Amino acid sequence: MRTKSLKNTRHTRVVLPILAIAVFLFASGMMAEARRLIEENIVFRFAPSAERAMTYGNRYFSARAKNAYDIERAEYFYNQALVLDPQTPYLQHQLARIHFLKGDFNQALARIDLEISDNPSVSPSSFYVRGLIEGYMGLYDAAASDYEKYLVQDPKNWAALNDYAWVLLKAGRFEDARQVTTRALIDFPGNAWLLNSQAIALFELGRYQEAFESAEKAVPAVEALTEEEWLVAYPGNDPRIAAEGIATLRNSIIHNKEKIALRLSE
Amino acid sequence: MAAIREHESARGRTIARSPVFTVFALAVLAILIAGVFTQGDRERISYLEAQFADTSTSGLAIVPASCPSDPPHFTGDTGLPNCSTPSCPSGFTLVGGICVSTQCPVGFTFTNGSCVFNGCPSGYNYEDGECVLVSCPLGYALQGGACVFVGCPNGYKLVGVQCVLDIECPLVCSGKNLVNSCNGQTVQICAYQCSSGACVAAPVPEATLTAQPSLVRSGNRSVIKWVVQYVSTCTVVGSNGDSWASEGDGTFDEESGPILSETTYTLTCDALNGSDITRGVKVGIIPTFEEQ
């Protein structure tokens, strides 16, 4: 009788503080966090599905999910989805993006090719991603072709037009690039990326004064750029590196302006 | 009932004390703590894209973006992303990532992301939490619960959305008429007279009614005379059936019909100041005496 009483007391001593701490964590506004952890660690373990894995993966792979962004965890869930159902729509697309961000362009290209060939309702975004990967790989003609496929569906997307201009510039098609940026700037006259790309196209065409004017407009545009805007432009990146991304663009624009000014003074 | 409660209470205590429950509670706690305390420790990961700037033939730095790389969120979605900077349409403002209307109801102003009441304007009454239109400003008519512009009255002009007194077109007198000096339109006809661009109020009316003679032999006649001032129209009615009318100020007289018995004459005038004025006079019969 005495032994049982002691045992009961010991259980109570252990359980009650645990419950108290659990209640404290819940009450501290961590309900959503708790739900997420329970879903991913318990629910997914007992009832796994590719769809669920995709949902969890997408949670961690968005520049707009400021606190949740975790590309490794996203990749983990996408790989889980791959095991459960490799035909899951947009799964290869997401994996391609992750490989691309990590600089593994061959893997990225293989994944996006799979997405485009296997997804019966392939998204125009998949062609955009393939264009991006090909551009980074130096396959400019292929990239231009994929960007064109995307732009057929979304002809006024400034980012797609800017990237199309990028591969055109790299392919030596300066006049085409100038025309693309000029067209895009009608709708987005204060866009720092487009102004920069247009300045380059004009410079390569020998139109230095106009190139300088465009570069000059790009400076206040990039100075006014917010982290939120940068994250819209680069949705796969860690939101905490937005400032670094803005700095890259700002430095590029200032470098270009100085170089154009130097040429004008010669 | 007490026995059942005692049984359930004892059962609860048993569950709470069981090792399985302890393990479960520990597991939940471990998950929570692990999740909460590992979230903030992630390192910032900078991938190639944030630092990437390509070079053109002449060595200028080209910076691509990647906005459209987000896939559709569900099968059948067009997958076309909105790469524009988050912004709201006209009449809305971005508050906490949501477009909130800045077009507040009448009497409310948009302050710190919400419509705050700051009093109903003139012509509105506050009813059930909103300003309800009850009258319209000059030049507007209430139609279907809203004020519809119907045109400014004479002497007024439209400035913005308001009818304001047209001080550049003063009113002038033309006889008894009050006239807009710009367009010559008669603004008002004065009842009494117009002076210095305004109607002058009429004085108190005056009227007298007399009968001459006031005593007649039966069958004879009398002259009824009335003198009026500051009136527009007058009528004189006799109890014997006589009746006459006059217009304006002046002295008027009429011969009565044969008077066979005492007759009362009543003068009624409409005065220029808007009032009525009434006077009366009697014509008596001279008695006749027969010698016995």
Interface predicted TM-score (ipTM) of this complex, two decimals: 0.80
Q: How far apart are CA A84 and CA A54, in angstroms?
A: 11
| Interface A:B, Cβ pairs < 8 A | 226
Substitution target in A3, A88, A90 with the highest count of B β-carbons within 10 Å is A90
The sign of the torsion formed by the CA atoms of B170, B173, B174, B178 equals: positive
Which one, of A12, A236, A239, lies nearest residue A125 by Cα?
A236
Tell me, what's the pLDDT at B161? 76
Local confidence pLDDT in tens for the 292 residues of chain B:
444 445 444 554 554 556 666 776 676 666 556 555 554 445 555 566 777 889 898 899 999 988 888 877 544 455 566 676 544 444 555 444 444 566 677 777 777 666 778 887 767 788 877 787 777 778 888 777 677 888 888 777 787 777 877 767 778 898 888 888 877 888 888 878 888 888 888 888 999 999 999 999 999 999 999 999 999 999 999 999 999 999 999 999 999 999 999 999 999 999 988 888 999 999 999 987 766 5
B98 touches chain A (CB under 8 A): no
Contact check, Cβ <8 Å, B53/A166: no
CB B51 within 8 A of CB A244: yes
User: Token match 């308001």: residue?
Assistant: B162
Tell me, what's the pLDDT at B31? 59
Q: A200 to chain B nearest CA, in Å?
A: 6
CB B184 within 8 A of CB B177: no
Tell me, what's the pLDDT at B47? 65
Looking at the DSSP bridge assignments, the partners of residue B229 are: B206
Q: pTM, whole model, 2 decimals? A: 0.54
Tell me, what's the pLDDT at B193? 84
Tell me, what's the pLDDT at B74? 45
Tell me, what's the pLDDT at A3? 42
Which one, of B180, B144, B146, B140, lies nearest residue B161 by Cα?
B140
Contact check, Cβ <8 Å, B60/A193: no
Q: What are B201's two structure tokens?
A: 């109020």
User: Token match 């420790």: residue?
Assistant: B41
Contact check, Cβ <8 Å, A158/B36: no
Between CA B46 and CA A73, with CA A63 as vertex, the angle to 5 degrees is 75
* Residue ranges of chain A whose pLDDT lies below 50: 1-6
Q: A116 to chain B nearest CA, in Å?
A: 12
Tell me, what's the pLDDT at B43? 57
Contact check, Cβ <8 Å, A154/B56: no
3-state secondary structure (DSSP) of residue A47: coil
Substitution target in B20, B51, B67, B74 with the highest count of A β-carbons within 10 Å is B67
Q: What are A230's two structure tokens?
A: 């940068």
Q: Which of B33, B57, B85 sits opposite A204 (nearest CB)?
A: B57
CA distances for A106 relative to A97, A111, B59, B236, angstroms: 12, 9, 27, 118
Tell me, what's the pLDDT at B244? 96
Chain segment A18-57, per-residue pLDDT in tens:
777 766 666 555 666 777 777 787 788 888 899 999 988 9
B54 touches chain A (CB under 8 A): yes
Tell me which DSSP letter residue B58 carries.
T
